[in-house]
A and B are shown apart, each in its own frame.
Chain A
Amino acid sequence: MRAAINRVIGSQETGLVVVVLLVTITLTLLAGTHADRQTGQLVNNFLNSNTLIQTATDTSFFAIMAIGATVVIISGGIDLSVGSIYALAGVTMALLLRHFGPMGAWPTVVIGLLMCTGVGLLCGLLNGALVVGLRVHPFIITLGTMWVLRGIAFVASKAESILVPQALTSVTKASLGLAGGGLYPVPMLCMLALTVLGAIYLTKTVMGRHVFAFGGNLEASRFAGLSLKSIQIGVFAVSGITAGFAAFLGASFYGSASSGDAQGYELYVIASAVVGGASLVGGKGSAVGATLGAMLIVLIRQSIRTLHFDQNYEWIVIGCAIIVAVVIDRWSTGVTTRRLGRATEATRAAA
């Protein structure tokens, strides 16, 4: 029991939770107050339900994609096409729903969800098949499909921003009984659900353990008889599905889809995974870490606005924060490895 508690306290995710909490406290203390429009009472500029849910909503689209991207990164690969998959999935859903015309609310939602995740799955399978079939590094393949998929979205949509049916927006903007205007918890709840599913997939299923084995030691996995091709195709499929799901949420929440959506988001997504503890050499990472990494990046972005710093410094601050987080993580890992090494040597010497 004590060992389990120690393991939780010492885990990377606990460290990230502490960091997120400390940033939250810092923002709360420095944010100042404003008069609430409805009640006239003074409310904290950061610690209020609207801003917190808004921050969680902004996080959710990155975090959901980051969970899928983390699975790819754990396998030792990388997926640069998640932003383009997001755009193509959203555009396909919007075009087809427009083509089908009005239908009931739930059929619209179900068809929309299936379309987005279906397109995401197909794109992921394509990435995986190309990586395995052509034996080209995922960086190159997904760099190529990043352009191809966005190009298809552009041609298909004729550069139009296509409105999605109101039924989708009503679902993703449901208040779920929360009082007050502007509180939309659905994207946040989806993010939490996907994080739990991702954590279960990675830690409790055979497939998840295979991904760690594949990324941690390819040769050992080969000798253990794992189906390496299926694992590699599978991780891209998971990444595609999460990008498609994020597209469903994003297009529904904001009410339209266009070929320009999520441009550059792949870098935020990869940054979220890396800040969340995923190792680009493979074998390390977690769904919870990816979500916390996305949360930390969005919090840093939010803090620039909440504290009214100059917006022009946003990219510099985010870039520095990512480097600092990763360097500290590597330093921490190095220290732990050296300590373990010393302990092993001491044990051997004693024996």
Chain B
Amino acid sequence: MQMARRCVALTLGVVVLACGGKGSEGAKDTAAGARPTAKAGDGKITIAVIAKSSNNPVFLAARTGAEAAAKDISQKNNLDVRVVWLTPPQEDGQVQAQRIQQAVNDGADAILISCSDAGKVTGAINDAVDRGVAVMTFDSDAPQSKRFAFYGVDDLKTGQTTMAELAKLMGGKGKVAILAGNQNAPNLQRRVQGAKDEAAKHPGMQVVGTFNHIETPQDAAAEVIRVDNAYPDIQGWAMVGGWPLFTSTLLTDLNPARIKVVAVDALPAQLAYVEKGIAPVLLAQPVYLWGYVGVQTIIDKIHFKKEVPPVIPMELVRVSKANLGEWARQLKAWGFTDVPPSYLSM
């Protein structure tokens, strides 16, 4: 009798599962809505994309890019390229390693990954490669692994450029703070190092501190406000990621006459900060291209058997009032639906 009741629990559980899982037909895991069932060589190629977290808009742009590349390549070359989105809901290197194993077990032909923790995923990447699955990294690399290529910015240089732009805006003097995101992310640690190295070249500039936070817009904005209150003489922020500018909070809480911000990334929500002069310069990573170039490079490697360089550098795009309209139109063309219309006609 008791066992029968347990079986009822199962039935209910499966119903819950089915209802929850099928809630969004439009948001299926694959571009074509199908599971990986094929091997390279018969025209069907499945690429698993594992970004750092599903709740970061930059990775959603990368997903859009990957799916667009799959569609374009399929049409142009009479192939059936499919993208499977296996990104964890929040950053966790161990879960990423598990997803790599799962992609291999599911029969994926290649994996495109941004590593939350290179040490944690290196073993899983090597296992995947040993089992015949090509692996490419983007955004955050695992250089000691057997991945065949990395596509992303030079993080040290990105940090240096961020601080150099800020120094230019501040006339080479004043107190600045560095906003640094997740303290465990090696790529962000390198950007911070680059920013500090650059600040050391400007004797008039003083870095009051490096501030880490949970990588959500709200947490980042709260951290900026906390630090701003604690250090009222800060005149500049070097943000190695654009997190707090994904909210509108700082549009009113930061005084552009007192504080200048230079931040990495330039997504639609950040553009208002350029227009208001709070962030006169944004250093955009063309995040859509993480997915687009990533998928294209994988197809070149595994289908067309082309030689691919082990490091493919991504160049930052400097976004200011001068090219705000042009950048907004570029974002729109990449599939961003939340670009404010006022910028499109600039």
Question: Is B89 engaged at the interface, CB distance under 8 Å to the other chain?
Answer: yes
Q: How many A-B residue pairs have CB under 8 A?
A: 207
Question: Is A208 engaged at the interface, CB distance under 8 Å to the other chain?
Answer: no
The answer on a CB contact under 8 Å between A308 and B120 is no
**Which of A45, A254, A260, A262 meets B123, CB within 8 Å?**
A254
A-side contacts of B322, CB under 8 Å: none
B-side contacts of A324, CB under 8 Å: 9, 12-13, 16
**Which of B6, B30, B101, B106 meets A19, CB within 8 Å?**
B6
Q: A159-B184, A317-B20 in contact; A260/B13 too (CB < 8 A)? A: no
The answer on a CB contact under 8 Å between B16 and A317 is yes
Question: Is B306 engaged at the interface, CB distance under 8 Å to the other chain?
Answer: no
B-side contacts of A254, CB under 8 Å: 93-94, 97, 119-121, 123-124
Name the interface residues of B26-55: CB closer than 8 Å to any CB of A.
27-30, 34-39, 54
B-side contacts of A263, CB under 8 Å: 92
Count of interface residues, chain A, beta-carbon cutoff 8 Å: 78
The answer on a CB contact under 8 Å between B21 and A310 is yes
**Which of B54, B102, B119 meets A305, CB within 8 Å?**
B102
Question: Is A192 engaged at the interface, CB distance under 8 Å to the other chain?
Answer: no
A-side contacts of B217, CB under 8 Å: none
Question: Is A311 engaged at the interface, CB distance under 8 Å to the other chain?
Answer: yes
Name the interface residues of B112-144: CB closer than 8 Å to any CB of A.
117-124, 127, 130-133
- Which secondary structure characterizes the binding site on chain A? helix
A225 to B105, CA, bound (A): 55
The answer on a CB contact under 8 Å between B104 and A182 is yes
B-side contacts of A15, CB under 8 Å: 2-3, 5-7, 9
A-side contacts of B34, CB under 8 Å: 308
Count of interface residues, chain B, beta-carbon cutoff 8 Å: 67
Looking at the assembled complex, report how far the CB atom of A277 sits from the nearest CB atom of chain B, in whole angstroms. Answer: 10
The answer on a CB contact under 8 Å between B37 and A34 is yes
Q: Output the nearest chain A residue to B101 by Cβ-Cβ distance.
A: A54
Looking at the assembled complex, report how far the CB atom of A222 sits from the nearest CB atom of chain B, in whole angstroms. Answer: 33
The answer on a CB contact under 8 Å between A310 and B29 is yes
Q: A19-B13, A312-B54 in contact; A34/B127 too (CB < 8 A)? A: no
The answer on a CB contact under 8 Å between A305 and B86 is yes
Looking at the assembled complex, report how far the CB atom of B56 sits from the nearest CB atom of chain A, in whole angstroms. Answer: 13
Interface centre among B36, B107, B118 (most CB of A within 10 A): B107
Looking at the assembled complex, report how far the CB atom of B261 sits from the nearest CB atom of chain A, in whole angstroms. Answer: 24
Q: Output the nearest chain A residue to B103 by Cβ-Cβ distance.
A: A305
Contact with A along B84-96 (1 / 0, CB 8 A): 1111011111100
The answer on a CB contact under 8 Å between A300 and B120 is no
The answer on a CB contact under 8 Å between A313 and B38 is no
Q: A37-B132, A48-B105, A324-B13 in contact; A258/B117 too (CB < 8 A)? A: yes
Name the interface residues of A294-351: CB closer than 8 Å to any CB of B.
300, 302-317, 320-321, 324-325, 328-329, 331-332, 335-336
A163 to B99, CA, bound (A): 20
A31 to B107, CA, bound (A): 13
The answer on a CB contact under 8 Å between B5 and A37 is no
A-side contacts of B30, CB under 8 Å: 308
Question: Is A142 engaged at the interface, CB distance under 8 Å to the other chain?
Answer: no
B-side contacts of A314, CB under 8 Å: 89
Question: Is A169 engaged at the interface, CB distance under 8 Å to the other chain?
Answer: yes
A-side contacts of B23, CB under 8 Å: 310, 313
The answer on a CB contact under 8 Å between A328 and B9 is yes
Question: Is A242 engaged at the interface, CB distance under 8 Å to the other chain?
Answer: no
A-side contacts of B93, CB under 8 Å: 161, 254, 256, 258, 260-261
Q: A32-B37, A34-B36, A54-B101 in contact; A300/B184 too (CB < 8 A)? A: no
The answer on a CB contact under 8 Å between B24 and A312 is yes
Supply 13 A–B pairs (Cβ within 8 Å), ascending by A.
A22-B7, A51-B102, A159-B183, A161-B184, A173-B123, A182-B127, A250-B94, A254-B119, A260-B92, A310-B24, A311-B29, A311-B87, A313-B23
Enumerate chain A interface residues (CB-CB to B < 8 A). Answer: 9-12, 14-16, 18-19, 22-23, 26, 31-38, 40, 45, 48, 50-51, 54, 57-58, 61, 154, 159, 161-163, 169, 173, 181-182, 250, 253-264, 300, 302-317, 320-321, 324-325, 328-329, 331-332, 335-336
9 nearest CB pairs, A to B:
A256-B119, A15-B6, A309-B21, A34-B107, A328-B9, A161-B119, A317-B20, A159-B183, A260-B184
Taking A311-B85, A317-B17 as given, write out 11 further A-B residue pairs in contact, using a Cβ cutoff of 8 Å, ordered by the A residue number.
A32-B37, A182-B101, A254-B93, A254-B124, A256-B122, A258-B184, A262-B94, A305-B86, A308-B28, A309-B22, A310-B27
